């Protein structure tokens, strides 16, 4: 059975503002499950999932298992680069978000989809792998790390094109993926991305040697997410 979901493209939005926005949707979905447990099945059945697409102004985020030592800037240097920094409640280490990067926040009920968290992350990766394949790029997973990689087993060439970090409670997800499309990759020089010191980052633009049509990439990712999760888009 298809999973009902609302699609929201909110453009360029402040990280903290978006975090609060998705946290509110997340809380409502979790609360609906609690009501279902208490016997109110009708409440839960009316709450669909939500997929948010967004770009953020320059910001570094550190997951709950990460180390601040992987941020190579002090507060003064952050301000000079017009970048913010937040410690957040997802898994994973440190990453960068900025203009030209497609960030996706699926707020899904995994019990309704009938999958676990490991399979959920696998399907997020699969949607991005399918997307870059449509642009003529072969990508894959890297054992022991989440995300989507190019040449993951080749020393000196391994590079990440999409980072993934999620949170789940009552099998409801939030946070998600960050796919480098036309991202300014120099901002990654200020961190050890995802805690790695020996691996690089890349973007669709860098791999293809030209600026990409961001809206076309968004549509491609949306289509592939719909396929891998069997989503049924509904109006809010």
Phi first, then psi, for residue 178 (nearest 5°) are -130, 110
Q: Is 220 an active-site residue?
A: no
**Given the residues 110, 129, 194, 220, the one annotated as active site:** 194
Q: How far, in Å, CA of 127 to CA of 158, rounded?
A: 20
Residues acting as catalytic residues: 194
């Amino acid at each position: 059975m298809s999973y009902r979901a609302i699609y929201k493209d909110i453009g360029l939005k402040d990280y903290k503002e978006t975090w609060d926005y998705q946290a509110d949707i997340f809380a409502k979905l979790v609360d609906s499950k609690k009501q279902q447990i208490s016997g109110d099945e009708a409440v839960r059945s009316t709450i669909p999932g939500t997929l948010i697409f967004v770009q953020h102004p320059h910001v570094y985020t550190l997951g709950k298992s990460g180390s601040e030592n992987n941020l190579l800037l002090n507060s003064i240097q952050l301000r000079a680069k017009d970048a913010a920094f937040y410690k957040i409640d997802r898994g994973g280490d440190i990453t960068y978000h900025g203009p030209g990067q497609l960030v996706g926040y699926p707020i899904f009920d995994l019990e309704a989809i009938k999958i676990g968290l490991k399979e959920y992350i696998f399907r997020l990766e699969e949607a991005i792998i399918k997307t870059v394949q449509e642009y003529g790029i072969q990508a894959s997973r890297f054992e022991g790390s989440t995300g989507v990689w190019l040449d993951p087993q080749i020393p000196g060439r391994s590079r990440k094109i999409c980072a993934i970090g999620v949170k789940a409670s009552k099998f409801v997800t939030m946070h998600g993926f960050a796919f480098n499309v036309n991202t300014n990759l120099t901002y990654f020089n200020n961190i050890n991305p995802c805690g790695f010191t020996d691996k690089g980052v890349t973007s669709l633009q860098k791999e293809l040697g030209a600026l990409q049509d961001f809206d076309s990439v968004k549509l491609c990712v949306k289509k592939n997410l719909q396929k891998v999760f069997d989503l049924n888009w509904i109006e809010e």
